[in-house]
Structure 1
Amino acid sequence: MRTFQKYVLLMLLMAPLGAFAQQLVSGVVTEASSGLPLPGVNVIVKGTTTGTTTDFDGKYEIEAENGSILQFSYIGFQTIEKPVTGTTMNIVLIEDTQQLDEVVVIGYGTTTKKDATGAVEVLRADELNKGAIVSADQMINGKSTGVRIVNEGGQPDSNPNIRIRGGASLSANNSPLIVIDGIPLSNINPAGQSNPLALINPNDIESFSILKDASSTAIYGSRASNGVIIITTKSGTKGGPKFNFSSNVQVGTLPEKIDVFNSKEYVSFINNTFPDSSSLLGLNGTIYNTDWQEEIYRTSFSVDNNFSARANLFGKIPFRASFGYSGIDGILKESHLDRYSASLNIAPEFFDNHLKVTINAKGVATEKDQPDEGAIGSALELNPTLPVYDPNGGKFNGYYQLSDPQGLVGPSNALALLKQRERNEDADRFLGNIEFNYKMHWLPELRAVLNLGLDYSESTINEYFLEKAVASYSVFDGMEIFNNLISSYDEEQTKKDQTLDAYLSYTKFPEGFITKIDAQAGYSYQNFQSDGVKFPTQISPVNGFREPAEIIEYFNELNLQSFFGRANIDLNDKYLFTASLRVDGSSLFSKNNRWGYFPAFAFAWKLNEEDFLKDLSWVNTLKTRVGWGLTGQQDITGVAGYYPYTALYVDGDPTVSYIFGNTPYTTYRANVFNPELTWEKTKTINFGIDYELLDGLLSGTIDYYNRKTEDLLAEVPQPEGALKNRFVSNVGNTSSEGVELALQLTPVKTGEFTFDISGNIAFNETYVTDLKNITQYSSGGGIGRGTGVNVLQTAVGQRGRSFWLYEQVYDINGNPIEDAFVDQNGDGTISDSDRIFTPVDPKWTYGFGTNLNYKNFDFSANFRGQLGGNIYNANLLNRGYADVVIPRNDVGYIKNALNLWNGNTYNGFAEMPSDRQALSDFYLSDASFLRLDNITLGYKIPHLNKQNMTLRLYTSINNVLVITDYEGLDPENFSGIEQSPYARPRTFTFGVNLDF
């Protein structure tokens, strides 16, 4: 009996302990929206290091005490905590859009916005520009503070000039590094492609991460001096299948024409000013009313169709595929681009979710009709009283053109230039990578990552003229003709860029003062290769006919290899430290100068986690940042080729051949080279503040940076006796500083109505502080005058890109006095020492916009602009004087001019301005502007059927209006010089978007 009593007593004493005994808990984790299982969900016993992840079927097993807390977390879903109440616990996770917005893609990893220590900006798909979007750059224009994007014109694939914080170099590449799904792109486009971002279908883009300061970009080393743009495309889903179809039609119009004389005004001007030339008005007594700009431009019609599918194949493999077609007409006749794109993303997991394999594949085929843009200049010069078509048929396939037996007379028929020349630029391009991400079985905190990427393209260019074409008259008479076509130029190119990244990544969340350790170390290999052949033609020195020239074959290769490491340490979840080092080697430099070392450091302090702010309910986030970093620059292929440090012997120019007997012989000559070339180095310090107040009512960032670049790679004059008068050298230093402010205000956010306003403004200026043995040099800036008449100059103590011009003197009526300038130094003589510097680039850029959602309606409007900067109106110089209508050699034709006629007087110079007058700031204008970039209005029809199908209808206008004092065509001009620009269209878009 006593034995039984002792047994009962022991059981009673052990009963409380039984409540805390370990037990095996299992269950399934599913997604709320679809009910499908979620693999890879982290399951942790809160307060311990015990954890596991769900398998492909969303199942898990974990040992936990009864009453302990299980924490279920997965990126993109709200974290759930549940107490253990039994052996079976099934969990449903809900998508967390706010958490998705926090994820920031950085080099070789990710972080969150609240944990970022550098100047990093994230733009999600719903925050980007809408409407007639042809390429990815148009999605972020004006959206990111300190990022200036200026397209070169209105072509369908116009090349974007992208500058982050103004760029850090002079002659070396100033464009940011672009990384798409882990693949860094080359800065050299395939033949036939002007815009590198036309590679990717805008509908496939999930987000942009823009890395601005050196502490965030230094992990990319030599290619990151000008910032980094990381593009992440949409991936598969672990939930139910989702489909999207979108389609739109775009109508483009010419928003404004350059103001030249129309036919009536021209007749009046000629009769009053040059009556002796009145006989040249019209044709055979008939005065035609030809608007040549109307003849070459058109109302364009474009279409854009896209289909995508996301699914979880077999309930285990996230998958996404898409296909798109864009047929884009330019507003210049014969300008057209067809783009076919396809993408695939698949991410299976193996070995109990320890190995994740991500495959990204993108293919694009572009077929571009590139018109002769010389037609724009001809349209501005052609006599408006002459016809487009020859009433007698003529010898130019029906187009009217003045000519004589020696060749054309006067400007070429602008429409004929477009219609009688074909230039087809076709490119097929593949961008793909496969990433193996293995989480060690014996140490889950350690991952090994291998990323293999390929960017491969094949391009062809074919240019030919119709027989008896205006442009082929005379000089093509000796060419062989096939099917009424005369070949002018052909090119074939293959381009292959390879990437390999291999690194280890360690992430741990210790308990105690150190709350997070995140480190990476690895190796990167990039090889860029282009191989091609050109079949040009040339003018025969014997008879003036165009004939085949020597075939040009080329092979170029650039190799970059790197070692890198980075560590992030969080202390008490308040103090964030980052340190990185990248060691880069470039084949552009000799062995003695090949390697560069680029460290970076950053610190961030979460003030809102401190006790003195923790209780302030209106402060949600307040973080200060400071970062320092060194980045490098080696990309000088555009001005120095691929082998600038060594002698490369090529066949000499025929004009300097040697004569032996009666036979000329060319010699092999060394190209110019510089064995002392070394890395251009940029040091940047950045101070920043991130804030969110009043539960998200107001949020934003403030940044100040100071940047100094040393050993500038610049194309400068060489001493006498050099192989070339200009070549790249390490010549000096620049200094930059800037301030950036971005904010978002959400004054209304209810269930039915949301209204937010976002804006950004940035200040930047860069000065040249040293050029070694020289004080200044010409940096180009041709204005349509003779050789050497350039208006741009690089000089010590001045902004990086500056005009170098005389200050104009005006009469009492405000009219310029020709060749009269201010004597700046008072020595009584006008010379170069009296020319003054005026910057090309603006100091201030800005953008702002608003989004409004009410029930099923949505509305957005976006503005951008600049304050300051200058533009040189070369069109005014070359077409804004009275005598321009009368050619110097008086060969029986007259030309058009800018309409500066007031009925009695021509408000411009009478005769062609001298080359000195061309260097006057009279032709310079303030380039400040405000552009209403796009307006979009949409309406969503939800729940079309039981599968929650939704249909959104929308309309938008792009390039709505520009407010500026500039009297030329468009103040937004990257080069700073306007001559005969391809006008940016105003585009109206009507579209549908179907989700099901």
Structure 2
Amino acid sequence: MDRKLWFIAYPARLFSLSFILLFFVFAASAQKQVTGTVKENNNPVMGATVEVKGTNVGTMTGPSGNFTINVPAGKTQLVISYVGLETQTVNIGDKTTIDVVMVSVNTTLNEVVVTGYTSQVKKDITGSVSVVQVSDLKSIPAANASSQLQGRVAGVTVTQDNRPGTESSVKIRGFSSFGDNGPLYIIDGIPVGGISGLNPNDIESMQVLKDAAAASIYGARASNGVIIVTTKKGRSGGVKVAYNMYYGKSSPGKGWDLLNSQEMADLTWKSFQNAGQAVPTVQYGTGTTPRLPDYILAGTLGGRLEGDPTVNPSLYNLDLDNIGGSYLIVRANKAGTNWYDEITQNAPITNHNISLSGGADRSRYLMSFDYFDQNAILIYSFYRRYTLRVNTEFNVKKNIRIGQNLQVRTDENNTVGNNGNNGEGTELGFAYRNQPIIPVYDIKGNFAGSRAPNLGNAQNPVANSFRRSKNRGQNLNIFGNIYAEVDFAKHFTARTSFGGQLNYGNGFSFNYKTYENSENNTGNSYNENFARFREWTWTNQVTYKNTFDQKHDVLVLAGTEAVEGWGRSISGTRVGYFTQNQDFWALNSGGAAGQQAFGSPFTPASLVSYFGKIDYTYDNKYLASVTVRRDGSSRFGPENRWGTFPAFSFGWRVTEEAFMENVRWLNDLKIRGSYGQMGNQRINPANAFDLYVGGPGSSNYDINGTSNSTAQGFQQSFVGNPAGKWETNITQNYGFDAVLFKGKTEVSFDVYNKQTEDLLFRLPALAAAGAGAASNPAFFNVASMKNSGIDLSITQKGNIGGKNGVKFDAQLIFTTYNNEITSLAEGLDFYDTRSSRIGNWVRNQIGHELSSFFGYKVVGIFKDAAEVAAAPVQDQKAPGRFRYQDTNGDGTITPADRVFLGSPNPDFTYGLNLNGSYKNFDIGMFFYGSQGNEIMNYVKWWVDFFPSFQGNKSKDLLYNSWTPTKTNAKIPIAENASNFSNNNAVNSYYLENGSFFRMKNLTLGYTLPSSLLNKVNIDKARIYVQGTNLFTATKYTGLDPEIFGADDSFGVDEGLLRSTRQFLIGINVNF
């Protein structure tokens, strides 16, 4: 595939448009000069924006709050705005001097909101846009802002991975695709894939664009909504210094309720006896009851008692070159090893942030440095980040502005587990799979494990964590943009912005020899990898803004945008290292055999776009907006590269009507609606092309009639789909924004319906295409899906006891979404996913929600032989085993009797944010809940059934399972047998109620008196203490009801890295 930009044939067009937008300047008409001051609470407001309404003529107030502005002829109003203060519109008349008094924003409808390529006062927005209160985000200590969004915005659901530094799963209004359902992030005008690398302390504002009217200006990438982030900038005036710091610890909480050593011995005997089998005597003796050994391993023998001559410490020998011939001795832990406690820790978290900002009339700057360091609750696991930001702005002339935003970030991590929802082969998985009689170390301080007979095949998770402690993942990211704005011809502003990111990643890991397990790694290996990625975005736009006859407000926006990203990766592996010492971890230090090297370029991906928007307001009552964007993407074939995405919206400010004048309690009411289309191109950049690769041993020609030729060729690795085209979301949204009771109450309500057509779906490739191609099929437009739901936000604020009494504010967020798959590929009604040792947990089928659970419904446990005899035919049915529902009534339990058991999608989620202050004290509380979702608890397969790899088991299995005298038990019989009627089928036994209500945050703060601070030249100082995840109300029996997973198969708990309880102390100081 040609790596050149496919749209590069149009450089002259792009450059010419940029040249026109920046330098086409008309002569100014007659003007008059107006001066004035801007104050709030009798204090000057520095850095306020003063604009002539209906033009691009503007200025900013100086240190004393004063301003001077030239007003074009015919213009009669000034608009003054400042973050956190209510926007004021002032009539000029014949005045040449104007004094303006600003007041604090009493309603979010007066906030200036950054939307697609421009900004608007929220009361004039006709789309569905939510403004995130950044001050609330900062109340949750986190490495990234995505996890802080949980419960803060109606229509947004967030599931946390819980590993330090990782991106949370963010969904805006549910699901609209089988692939990536995450939103598009825009940071300072530049699109990025996520915000995990953004320092939360640098965020000035954040908006969420939810419907087509608000988001379709971003076209092909906006199908899942858009989150716009603006970083902090300096303001005119003296130098301001801010220092923020916190330190605390996270606790891992309690693990699973598992057996101790004696209980495990008792269960072993019970399970073998219930299965009619002879009890193994290796570890627990030959008597009538089990007894615990003193040693579980001596050489190759197990179950030894003190004084046994086969236990000879003088023979102890560990030989990594002859692991099978080693003589190890492991003393039994009779009290029982709590493996969860062994692999978890109280983990410290630290953050330091310092910023320097200021400016003069023509320049503003902000510099910040942030250090974040968090240990995970898993031992030897951490995330560390350093972030430097420099933002500057300059007024070259009154009508010309330039600026830049730059962030440099480096981070390092050692993440032990695969992901936040760990599987059976990771440290958390081994924590419930290891038997309690196994200690962490043997008699010589080396690691112990399942090498002892009859103790399963789990690995020592402490040993694995220690061996991976020196592995590293390191990244360097440089992100930013430069921009210029020119005001010309009274009403026009041209802007160009060029930005992007450079990312360099390096990782290395060493795979040690092991000796303590029943299944050991007898060799060692070292792997190192490096990747680089570059992406740039160039945006050019021109804006026209004018007011006619004081009643007609018009904004017209037109622009172009070009995006391209590309990169390379390389990795190498070497085996046979003579030593495992870290000093020799290099690719040239291993043995001669087993050397491998891999490298590949990333397929370039490019996008070119043209977009436009018209906003119109009549008499501050009737609002309308039209948006259109046309995108061309290299991810599709030549016939389908271009897509057009229009949107229309309207609004009616009812309270501006004459008939509402006497409705005093309703201060503002806006009714709005929208209809539009958005696109999705999140597929393999090479989806339209056939790809071929060459590799030793996998693409060798059989030239000489043998099967072992060394002549290397190529094999097909990907079968492309040149007919693939855009996925299209058609969205309708209706809602209202209301302000009541003199601004004390605000309500925002939306109801929406979203239909996804031509949904991109991976169709299995033909096996004849090759193993690589078959495992990585192309996307085809063969499916459709619909979503509908409600977003509700209610805010209440006020005070108790007068002006000097208690001030408070509260916000309730309520979100619902309903999802349904409406079509799949021709001839395909469903596809199954999320495989496990007993089958697939999830079925995605037409007429059902994405990621629905599917299996046999358990209607009870067979109480006795009579009930077994009377039941439908069922393989291996017996007293104490599951009884399944005969769904089709044919008298035989077969796969046709399986049903949809539940869904991980909640009926609704909600958040409640409460803040209060009295004098210098403040308190903040945040609660979050999810209702109506189910969870498949896969951990129960490991701990509630005896034959599941001889690991540790739950206390319920020993004490509460079925027996002939306990026929109403909810857990099947404890037996050493594995079959369809107990633990060999996906069924509703594993299904649990995943609803929960959690106190996410409690903060208590105290601001030191200004009379004290003034003596040491400190503007403000606050100290606070904070607790997170303080309590959870749930019926779920696993570690945590917040389950992380892939979009089409989430909701399965394989051993969750839980949300941690944190306690910390912090300070905020401003100079």
2:933 aligned to which of 866, 869, 877 = 869
Contact 2:267–2:958 under 8 Å retained in 1: no
Which digits, 9 at most, give the CA deviation of each residue in 1:423-449, with x for residues without a partner?
A: 200001111011211111xx1210111
2:691 aligned to which of 634, 638, 648 = 648
Give 5+ residue unaligned stretches, structure 2.
1-29, 273-278, 286-291, 296-303, 306-330, 419-425, 578-590, 865-877, 963-970, 1045-1049
User: Is 1:509 matched with 2:547?
Assistant: yes
1:763 aligned to which of 803, 813, 816 = 816
User: Is 1:897 matched with 2:931?
Assistant: no
In structure 1, the residue matched to 2:533 is 495
In structure 2, the residue matched to 1:529 is 566
In structure 2, the residue matched to 1:239 is 237
Distance in 2, matches of 1:615 and 1:490, equals: 73
1:389 aligned to which of 434, 438, 441 = 441
Contact 1:808–1:816 under 8 Å retained in 2: no
Cα RMSD (Å): 3.3
2:1036 aligned to which of 944, 948, 966 = 966
In structure 1, the residue matched to 2:284 is 278
In structure 1, the residue matched to 2:170 is 162
Distance in 1, matches of 2:47 and 2:349, equals: 41
Distance in 1, matches of 2:271 and 2:454, equals: 29
- Superposed displacement of residue 467, structure 1: 6.5
Contact 2:56–2:491 under 8 Å retained in 1: no
- Following superposition of structure 1 onto structure 2, how do residues 57-456 of structure 1 map, counting pairs within 5 Å? 60=68, 71=78, 73-76=80-83, 79=88, 81=90, 89=97, 91=99, 94=102, 96-97=104-105, 102-128=111-137, 130-152=139-161, 154-170=162-178, 172-186=179-193, 196-270=194-268, 273=271, 276=281, 277-279=283-285, 281=293, 283=295, 284-285=304-305, 286-288=331-333, 289=335, 290-312=337-359, 314-351=360-397, 353-372=398-417, 374-393=426-445, 398-403=446-451, 410-421=457-468, 422-440=470-488, 443-456=489-502
- Higher mean Cα deviation, 627-636 or 900-909? 900-909
Which digits, 9 at most, give the CA deviation of each residue in 1:513-546, with x for residues without a partner?
A: 42x1011111111112221112246899xxx999
1:900 counterpart SS class = helix
1:241 counterpart SS class = strand
- Following superposition of structure 1 onto structure 2, how do residues 16-55 of structure 1 map, counting pairs within 5 Å? 27=35, 29=37, 41-42=50-51, 53=59
Distance in 2, matches of 1:50 and 1:731, equals: 48
Contact 2:451–2:518 under 8 Å retained in 1: no
In structure 2, the residue matched to 1:686 is 733
Change (3 A) 1:573 1:295: same
Which digits, 9 at most, give the CA deviation of each residue in 1:710-754, with x for residues without a partner?
A: 111012345676665554211121122111111012253643321
- Superposed displacement of residue 86, structure 1: 8.6
Which digits, 9 at most, give the CA deviation of each residue in 1:91-150, with x for residues without a partner?
A: 576575558861111110011110010010001222335142221012221111111110
Q: How many residue pairs align between the two structures?
A: 922
Contact 1:475–1:539 under 8 Å retained in 2: no
User: Is 1:823 matched with 2:874?
Assistant: no
- Superposed displacement of residue 791, structure 1: 1.7
User: Is 1:855 matched with 2:861?
Assistant: no
Distance in 1, matches of 2:546 and 2:850, equals: 46
1:207 counterpart SS class = strand
Which digits, 9 at most, give the CA deviation of each residue in 1:917-939, with x for residues without a partner?
A: 43211111121111111111111
2:989 counterpart SS class = helix
In structure 2, the residue matched to 1:993 is 1068
Distance in 1, matches of 2:840 and 2:56, equals: 71
Change (3 A) 1:736 1:538: farther
Contact 1:810–1:816 under 8 Å retained in 2: no
Contact 1:689–1:703 under 8 Å retained in 2: yes
Distance in 2, matches of 1:559 and 1:213, equals: 25
Distance in 1, matches of 2:1042 and 2:676, equals: 32
- Superposed displacement of residue 673, structure 1: 1.4
Q: Which amino acid in structure 2 is aligned with residue 760 of structure 1? A: I
In structure 2, the residue matched to 1:937 is 1004
Which digits, 9 at most, give the CA deviation of each residue in 1:355-398, with x for residues without a partner?
A: 111211111110112225612211212221222112134xxxx2
- Higher mean Cα deviation, 210-219 or 963-972? 963-972
Distance in 1, matches of 2:641 and 2:564, equals: 15
Contact 2:944–2:957 under 8 Å retained in 1: no
Contact 1:936–1:957 under 8 Å retained in 2: yes
Contact 1:882–1:908 under 8 Å retained in 2: no
1:928 aligned to which of 995, 999, 1004 = 995
User: Is 1:738 matched with 2:789?
Assistant: yes
Q: Which amino acid in structure 1 is aligned with residue 898 of structure 2? A: R
Change (3 A) 1:721 1:418: closer
Change (3 A) 1:941 1:915: farther
Q: Which amino acid in structure 1 is aligned with residue 1024 of structure 2? A: Y
In structure 1, the residue matched to 2:857 is 807
Which digits, 9 at most, give the CA deviation of each residue in 1:748-807, with x for residues without a partner?
A: 36433212221121221111112241343334212345xxx2121111111122112111
Change (3 A) 1:74 1:143: closer
Distance in 1, matches of 2:231 and 2:517, equals: 45
Give 5+ residue unaligned stretches, structure 1.
1-21, 187-195, 480-485, 887-894
Q: Which amino acid in structure 2 is aligned with residue 278 of structure 1? A: Y
Change (3 A) 1:151 1:469: farther
- Superposed displacement of residue 42, structure 1: 3.1
2:1064 counterpart SS class = strand
- Superposed displacement of residue 911, structure 1: 3.9
User: What TM-score comes out, normalization by structure 2 length?
Assistant: 0.81
Distance in 2, matches of 1:102 and 1:903, equals: 61
- Following superposition of structure 1 onto structure 2, how do residues 559-574 of structure 1 map, counting pairs within 5 Å? 559-574=606-621
Distance in 1, matches of 2:828 and 2:761, equals: 13
Change (3 A) 1:904 1:425: closer
In structure 2, the residue matched to 1:519 is 556
1:166 counterpart SS class = coil
- Superposed displacement of residue 242, structure 1: 2.0
2:843 aligned to which of 779, 790, 793 = 793
Distance in 1, matches of 2:670 and 2:189, equals: 28
Contact 1:213–1:686 under 8 Å retained in 2: yes
1:782 counterpart SS class = strand
Distance in 1, matches of 2:510 and 2:956, equals: 38
Contact 1:80–1:93 under 8 Å retained in 2: no
Contact 2:624–2:651 under 8 Å retained in 1: yes
Change (3 A) 1:860 1:56: closer
User: What TM-score comes out, normalization by structure 1 length?
Assistant: 0.86
Q: Which amino acid in structure 2 is aligned with residue 762 of structure 1? A: T
In structure 1, the residue matched to 2:596 is 549
Distance in 2, matches of 1:248 and 1:117, equals: 40
In structure 1, the residue matched to 2:803 is 751
- Superposed displacement of residue 167, structure 1: 2.2
Change (3 A) 1:500 1:942: farther
Distance in 1, matches of 2:413 and 2:183, equals: 26
In structure 2, the residue matched to 1:776 is 829
